[in-house]
Structure 1
């Protein structure tokens, strides 16, 4: 049964915004109390958060589809809809977020680091919020914006100070079990360790973490023996420790050739692994032949510039010296790191000639409008409501879309699309769109809310209507 997963494909969807409400206040003796439709609630975000208590991506392997809740629609009586609940997904420290093409989107290192993977949609405005001195009783409301969606790949790279690397069965798991409180699986056959194990070591005043990386074999940098998955967990480690088996039963292996092979794989993998501080540990000197071999190869390794320690993880020989030497390397590596600068807020104002949208004429003669505002307004419009369509036309005109279309060469009857190809609204363009013009008065107005006319004015208006009707009858009557 799978208990550790370090790479998953995750499909996230934020909540959609709730629709606004179009309502008119009703009360006894107040038949036209004015608009009182509330706004829709905001959709919930999907956020990844680093949690130190999480060590695997197993939960997302079993449930790769995650969705936040949507906002509730607004109601009459100026009651706004409830916001959707944000969905917080805990991930291990060292999780890398990538798109499906392998491009890195975010690198989540450090407890509490967050990344919003999908943003919730805006709630639609109700007709109470849309009312103004010019638009006293809107008969429409804005729709909620759909929540964002994203397909991402989560890849875990172990965060540790020290990584133990070497052939399978070299004694890495035994070593981490005696240096720290980690309890990895230990057995006398290769590839006992299939997942990284982390332990915490205290040496004097220095506390550092150590990782037991599964065994590497020739060709690991090309993926042989799950080498790429194992090497991934070495990338973030600052110090590498070669654990060499001095008591191997394989006749074609020895500590020096094992070291050369691992070094070559680190170099082929890249990422600067071949330039990390490193030391060599000759393990299993409790075996007589192993001790003799360690004494034989030690001068050669020291001549190459390596700091060499001969130990026995089983007999607990040489462990104290090793732990303090590792602490010195870790402390030096930490001191050499550049200090992180305080977070700076960078303000990038828009260019003075940035209209917020673009108009492009495509090969088939279609004019496509792209921009955050026009595309959002399209999604918020109820096209079954003529007044809402007229309101959209007014907004686009004020933004300058109509002027930009005329400048691009569009003429009456040309096709215009707003939005991307897969989700666009296409219509035949008419300059100064008059959608909703069949309503009395200007768009968004209601003549019933005009102040009452004086009695004398009403009599004059009625007489004018009768005179106009008589004139039309006279013009029609041939006799």
Structure 2
């Protein structure tokens, strides 16, 4: 049964926003007290959070579909709907988030590091929020926006200070077992270790982690053995340690050729050329192993390697090795900044960016794409003529109608707003003015009017003129 999983595909869905409410306040002797529909609640986000207590992605292997809760709809009496709860997904330290194409979305290192994998949909505005001096009694509300959907790949790269690399049965697991309190599986046959082992070592005042990479053989970087599956776990290490078997029974192998082969595989994998290296000649408790170690040590040192002769079985040379590793780890930590500055990427919009695009497709259909138009369409209740007119006003003020004319659209041409799989398509009829101006004053109910002094009427007129210049999207408090 699988107990260690370091790569999963996860399907996440954020919560949808609640619908706004269209309601009119009524009480005794005042049957039309004005709009009082509340806003819908915000949908919950799906958030990945690094948790040191989590060491595997096994839970997501068994349950790859995760969804946050949606916001509740608004109610009358200016009662807003309850926001949906965020879904918190704990992941191991060192988890890399990618899209299905392999593009890195986030690299999660450090306790508490977060990444919003899917954003919750915004709640729709109620008619109380949509009311104004010129639209006193809206008979509609905005719908909630559906939550974001995303398919992501989670890939775990072990966060260790020291990585042990070498052929199967070179003694990597034995070294970890005697240097730390880890208890990996140890046997005298190849590929005993099927998952990376991680141990904690204390040497003086330095505490560091040590991990091994199972299954490195010639061709590992191309997928042979288990190397390609686990080479990612050495990417974050401070130092690479070659564990070489000096007592191998295979006549075609020797420590120097083993080192050359493993180095070539690391080179083919890439990204590890700047890591300091050490060499451990293991199994010197065997007489032939001791002799071979003394023979190859001068050549390895001439290449610039720091060489240690050890025996995991006899516990020989382990203290010197652990303190040498601690010294390299401490120097690596000192070279890194204690606090990394937060990197903020600012991508300002171009001065001529209208916020949407209009393109004519091969079949003659005009497609409108843009964050605002697509969101507005999703918020519109097309069974309500007033809501449709409000959408027309917003699109006209944004300049969509003008751009359609520039693109060559004519009366009766098909226009689609949104992507192919989820678009609203209609036959376009150009207008001279937006719907509200043509119909008079949409959303106004003269039964709500009361006699006003001349001064108040002038103020209201000025307020209407000022409001007419505003972008309708300004009414949304998000």
Q: 1:459 to 1:369 in 2, by over 3 A?
A: closer
Per the TM alignment, residue 452 of structure 1 is displaced from its structure 2 partner at its CA by 6.4
Q: Is the 8 A contact 1:135 1:445 kept in 2?
A: yes
Per the TM alignment, residue 336 of structure 1 is displaced from its structure 2 partner at its CA by 4.1
Q: Is the 8 A contact 1:387 1:436 kept in 2?
A: no
Per the TM alignment, residue 175 of structure 1 is displaced from its structure 2 partner at its CA by 0.6
Q: Within 2, Cα distance between the matches of 1:231 and 1:347?
A: 34
1:114-153 C-alpha deviation (Å, 9 max, x unpaired): 1111000000001111111111111110000000000111
Q: 1:47 to 1:454 in 2, by over 3 A?
A: closer
Q: Is the 8 A contact 1:440 1:446 kept in 2?
A: no
Per the TM alignment, residue 345 of structure 1 is displaced from its structure 2 partner at its CA by 4.7
- SS, match of residue 281 in structure 1: strand
Q: Is the 8 A contact 1:441 1:447 kept in 2?
A: no
Q: Which moved more, 1:190-199 or 1:134-143?
A: 190-199
Q: Which moved more, 1:332-341 or 1:433-442?
A: 433-442
Q: Within 2, Cα distance between the matches of 1:84 and 1:357?
A: 30
Let me know the Cα RMSD of the aligned residues: 8.9
Q: 1:26 to 1:331 in 2, by over 3 A?
A: same
Q: Within 2, Cα distance between the matches of 1:295 and 1:472?
A: 81
Per the TM alignment, residue 325 of structure 1 is displaced from its structure 2 partner at its CA by 1.1
Q: Is the 8 A contact 2:130 2:475 kept in 1?
A: no
Q: Which moved more, 1:106-115 or 1:43-52?
A: 106-115
Q: Is the 8 A contact 2:124 2:142 kept in 1?
A: yes
Q: Within 2, Cα distance between the matches of 1:204 and 1:472?
A: 66
Q: Within 1, Cα distance between the matches of 2:466 and 2:316?
A: 117
Per the TM alignment, residue 365 of structure 1 is displaced from its structure 2 partner at its CA by 2.1
Q: 1:278 to 1:476 in 2, by over 3 A?
A: closer
Q: Within 1, Cα distance between the matches of 2:86 and 2:244?
A: 49
Q: Is the 8 A contact 2:217 2:224 kept in 1?
A: yes
Q: Which moved more, 1:462-471 or 1:159-168?
A: 462-471
Q: Within 1, Cα distance between the matches of 2:477 and 2:174?
A: 115
1:326-352 C-alpha deviation (Å, 9 max, x unpaired): 122223333444676422555554333
1:451 aligns with 2:450: yes
Q: Is the 8 A contact 2:40 2:125 kept in 1?
A: yes
Q: Which moved more, 1:186-195 or 1:368-377?
A: 186-195
Per the TM alignment, residue 315 of structure 1 is displaced from its structure 2 partner at its CA by 1.3
- SS, match of residue 16 in structure 1: coil
Per the TM alignment, residue 84 of structure 1 is displaced from its structure 2 partner at its CA by 0.4
Q: 1:439 to 1:303 in 2, by over 3 A?
A: closer
Per the TM alignment, residue 364 of structure 1 is displaced from its structure 2 partner at its CA by 2.2
Q: 1:439 to 1:310 in 2, by over 3 A?
A: same
Per the TM alignment, residue 408 of structure 1 is displaced from its structure 2 partner at its CA by 2.2
Q: Within 2, Cα distance between the matches of 1:338 and 1:464?
A: 56
TM-score (norm 2): 0.90
- SS, match of residue 435 in structure 2: coil
Q: Within 2, Cα distance between the matches of 1:478 and 1:62?
A: 40
Per the TM alignment, residue 257 of structure 1 is displaced from its structure 2 partner at its CA by 1.9
Q: 1:393 to 1:290 in 2, by over 3 A?
A: same
TM-score (norm 1): 0.90
Q: Which moved more, 1:241-250 or 1:351-360?
A: 351-360
Unaligned runs of 5+ in 2: none
Query: How many matched pairs?
Result: 478
Q: 1:54 to 1:16 in 2, by over 3 A?
A: same
Q: 1:133 to 1:298 in 2, by over 3 A?
A: same
Q: Which moved more, 1:44-53 or 1:375-384?
A: 44-53
Q: 1:266 to 1:437 in 2, by over 3 A?
A: closer
Q: Which moved more, 1:62-71 or 1:239-248?
A: 239-248
Q: Within 2, Cα distance between the matches of 1:97 and 1:322?
A: 35
Q: Within 2, Cα distance between the matches of 1:436 and 1:303?
A: 84
- SS, match of residue 146 in structure 1: coil
- SS, match of residue 200 in structure 1: strand
Per the TM alignment, residue 472 of structure 1 is displaced from its structure 2 partner at its CA by 43
Q: Is the 8 A contact 1:14 1:44 kept in 2?
A: yes
- SS, match of residue 52 in structure 2: coil
Per the TM alignment, residue 444 of structure 1 is displaced from its structure 2 partner at its CA by 1.8
1:242-280 C-alpha deviation (Å, 9 max, x unpaired): 1111122223222222112211211121x2324421111
- SS, match of residue 15 in structure 1: coil
Q: Is the 8 A contact 1:14 1:46 kept in 2?
A: yes
Unaligned runs of 5+ in 1: none
- SS, match of residue 350 in structure 1: coil
Q: 1:406 to 1:475 in 2, by over 3 A?
A: closer
- SS, match of residue 155 in structure 2: strand
Q: Is the 8 A contact 2:393 2:435 kept in 1?
A: no
Per the TM alignment, residue 219 of structure 1 is displaced from its structure 2 partner at its CA by 1.2
Q: Which moved more, 1:275-284 or 1:198-207?
A: 198-207
Q: 1:450 to 1:253 in 2, by over 3 A?
A: same
